[in-house]
Amino acid sequence: MTTAREDLRNIAIIAHVDHGKTTLVDQLLHDSGTFREHEQVDERAMDSNDIEKERGITILAKNTAIEYKNTRINILDTPGHADFGGEVERIMKMVDGVLLVVDSYEGCMPQTRFVLKKALEQKLRPVVVLNKIDRPNARPEEVVDEVLDLFIELGADDEQLEFPVVYASALNGTSSLESDPAQQENSMNPVFDTILEHIPAPIDNADDALQFQVTMLDYNDYLGRIGVGRVFRGTIKVGQQVALMKNDGSVKKFRVSKLFGFIGLKRIEIDQAKSGDIVAIAGMEDINVGETVCPVDQQEALPLLRIDEPTLQMTFVVNNSPFAGREGKHVTSRKIEERLMSELETDVSLRVEQTASPDAWVVSGRGELHLSILVENMRREGYELQLSKPEVIIKEIDGVKCEPVERVQIDVPEEYTGGVMESLGIRKGEMLDMANHGNGQVRIEFKVPSRGLIGYSTEFMTITHGYGIINHSFEEYAPMVKGQVGGRRQGVLVSLENGKASTYGIMNLEDRGVIFVEPGTEVYAGMIVGEHNRDNDLTVNITKEKHLTNVRSANKDNTVTIRKSRKMSLEESLQYLNDDEYCEVTPESVRLRKKILNKNEREKAAKKK
């Protein structure tokens, strides 16, 4: 007869980007009395690093625990972005149920589908939370139907289809079991009670042989690698001698030097943990995701965890531009390599390969966002480097060359649908579905090769005048589409000389295209200073000064105004690149440049091609 640990629940919170997962966790933490009365807590407390706070997205899965009615609820906040899908999938292995958060206006989105599919495959029990119920245009009844349709479409079993629904406004801290916004109560108790009632408690098999599986990695300068995971059966104690079943089949023995449990946002040292607990273990140098910790005399490994394969790669190169070393403190190849290797300690979806050159590495990740966040972290830490154009990773499956394909969902006002369909058609997109929401908004679904989406978001924003919303998630590897897919159509304006961009120089170039730099910006020969309005590159003199003469001109006293320059973020710059260009990234600047800086050498290379 197996008993359950009624004093414990393990759940993951899953949702599409921006549907309010992290805000909901905040409210649950506040409402459960986990924080002391005067404790200072940030908004979106779970998004702990700067980039997460600035962009309002969750990048790393995080865990927290709350006490409610003598029950400990372990909550895992997961990322909603497809680039971090690997994190979501592994977390599903640690929990017994999920809280699916859906925006009561937007309804089911691509990532809702993606994360729910992962949860249903693991046979987890769902609780649906319809968030943002206080929005003026919320449509709770319709959205519940949409959610039910999605469950059926993804093959949910009868038990999963009987999901309970809680209506909430995480921002206001209210919730209720009724869909009428007027009946919201000022607490999160309906959410807690539904969790206790519907999410199964873990089985209590603390007397059996130990099995603990690592699902996430952390790193600490004093303790080295820390494995975070769940005790699936048995008990683990500090000082215990255990065996680690490695992914490659080998076995290593080690002693558990420290154990940590979680409460609120803190990690607390504990002496022992038993089946069902989510804990962190220290004392192992090379512990990896998916490995099993078990007794030395009873070695049984749990099934390996599938880690999402990278789909995009970029070359990281030591900065060798004329401005190298001006702003960063880490500029040597040794420093960059050390930093990339330390990233591998905690990021399991990343790959770093050496190249023939000691100054370049091929770095592969799950997508543009995944890689650009690594670069953004590095530049904030004082690194300088150059990056090549992102490229998709081609695989050979059964002798056929295959490339990654994404499912793209687009929400746009009706008048822009033609432009969007035409632009994705050029990028070899195939339309799957189109639905008119009746309020002037149209939702279209496509399948598009990943390489067709590189650099697409800027074009998409232009076509839809900023009113469109685009979401995409990895669908599958499919045979390669023939011919050119996507890519930039415009040529660029390239600086001829070193110096400072002058107002006069910029004015003379305005009718040739869009300028990227402002007067007074330092430029070097070979640096990209603007976009040409034709499809060829043009070398220009942007540093040119006006020659002063002693002849007064009639319009001398008119003041000149120049157009605003186009500023590009790191992601936009990476998307903008062509094959013969680099993006130079330093702590203070992001510049675009040609790989070959000298004009004559560039022209020779182009002729050879």
Rounded to 10°, the helix 85-92/110-121 angle is 30
What local confidence, expressed as pLDDT, does residue 362 receive? 92
Determine the structural domain holding residue 445 and report its residue range: 395-479
Has residue 107 been placed in a domain? yes
Same domain? For 183 and 213 the reply is no
157 known ligand binder: no
Same domain? For 543 and 592 the reply is yes
Which residue type occupies 226? Answer: I
In b/e form, how buried is each residue of 248-265, taking b as 16+ CB within 10 angstroms? Answer: eeeeeebebebbbbbebb
Which has the minimum average pLDDT: 78-92, 396-410, 489-503? 78-92
Is 435 a residue whose pLDDT tops 70? yes
Q: Express each pLDDT in 510-531 by its tens digit.
A: 888 888 888 888 899 889 988 8
Rounded to 10°, the helix 110-121/140-153 angle is 50
Same domain? For 101 and 192 the reply is yes
Q: The domain that contains 241 carries what CATH number?
A: 2.40.30.10
- Beta strands 292-295 and 400-413, pairing class: unpaired
The mean pLDDT value of the chain amounts to: 80
Same domain? For 588 and 512 the reply is yes
Has residue 435 been placed in a domain? yes
Q: Whole-angstrom Cα distance, residue 218 to residue 280?
A: 9
Same domain? For 221 and 198 the reply is no
117 known ligand binder: no
| Cβ neighbour number for residue 585 with a 10 Å cutoff | 25
Higher per-residue pLDDT: 419 or 346:
419
Has residue 17 been placed in a domain? yes
2 known ligand binder: no
Same domain? For 522 and 594 the reply is yes
Q: Express each pLDDT in 237-283 by its tens digit.
A: 888 888 888 777 778 888 888 888 877 767 788 888 888 888 888 87
Torsion angles phi and psi, residue 519, rounded to 5: -55, 140
Same domain? For 34 and 175 the reply is yes
Has residue 337 been placed in a domain? no
270 known ligand binder: no
Q: The domain that contains 463 carries what CATH number?
A: 3.30.70.240
Has residue 93 been placed in a domain? yes
Closest to 536 (Cα-Cα) out of 596, 492, 574, 503: 492
Give strand pairing partners of 236. 273
131 known ligand binder: yes
Has residue 553 been placed in a domain? no
Q: Express each pLDDT in 26-50 by its tens digit.
A: 777 777 665 444 444 444 444 444 5
What local confidence, expressed as pLDDT, does residue 39 receive? 44
What local confidence, expressed as pLDDT, does residue 552 receive? 63
133 known ligand binder: yes
Instruction: Give the distance, in angstroms, between the CA of residue 293 and the centroid of all CA atoms in the same chain.
Output: 29
Give strand pairing partners of 12. 76, 98
Q: Locate tokens 């089946």: which residue?
A: 275
Which of these three, 202, 232, 262, is where a domain ends? 202
Burial, 520: exposed, middle or buried (Cβ in 10 Å; 0-12, 13-18, 19+)? Answer: exposed
CB under 8 Å to 131, separation ≥6 — which residues?
A: 15, 19, 20, 24, 101, 102, 103, 104, 168, 169, 170
503 known ligand binder: no
Give the gyration radius of the chain's Cα atoms.
27
Q: Whole-angstrom Cα distance, residue 608 to residue 555?
A: 48
* Contact call for residues 334 and 318 (beta carbons, < 8 A): no
| Cβ neighbour number for residue 466 with a 10 Å cutoff | 8
Higher per-residue pLDDT: 482 or 445:
445
Same domain? For 28 and 159 the reply is yes
132 known ligand binder: yes
Has residue 379 been placed in a domain? no
Q: How many domains does the chain have?
A: 4
Q: Whole-angstrom Cα distance, residue 47 to residue 26?
A: 10
Q: What DSSP state is assigned to residue 553? A: P
| Cβ neighbour number for residue 32 with a 10 Å cutoff | 19
Same domain? For 196 and 218 the reply is no
Q: Whole-angstrom Cα distance, residue 221 to residue 543?
A: 48
Q: What DSSP state is assigned to residue 83? A: G
Which of these three, 277, 295, 313, is where a domain ends? 295
Has residue 355 been placed in a domain? no
263 known ligand binder: no
Higher per-residue pLDDT: 104 or 383:
383
Same domain? For 472 and 512 the reply is no
18 known ligand binder: yes
Q: Whole-angstrom Cα distance, residue 536 to residue 493?
A: 9
Q: Is 38 in a helix, a strand, or coil? A: coil
Compute CA distances 19 → 88, 130, 172, 306, 513, whole Å: 16, 9, 14, 27, 39
In b/e form, how buried is each residue of 112-131, taking b as 16+ CB within 10 angstroms? Answer: bbbbbebbbeeebbbbbbbb
Q: Specify the pTM.
A: 0.72
Same domain? For 178 and 77 the reply is yes
Rounded to 10°, the helix 189-198/21-31 angle is 100
Which whole number is the average pLDDT over 91-116? 80
Q: The domain that contains 529 carries what CATH number?
A: 2.40.50.250
Which of these three, 151, 169, 202, is where a domain ends? 202
Same domain? For 79 and 129 the reply is yes
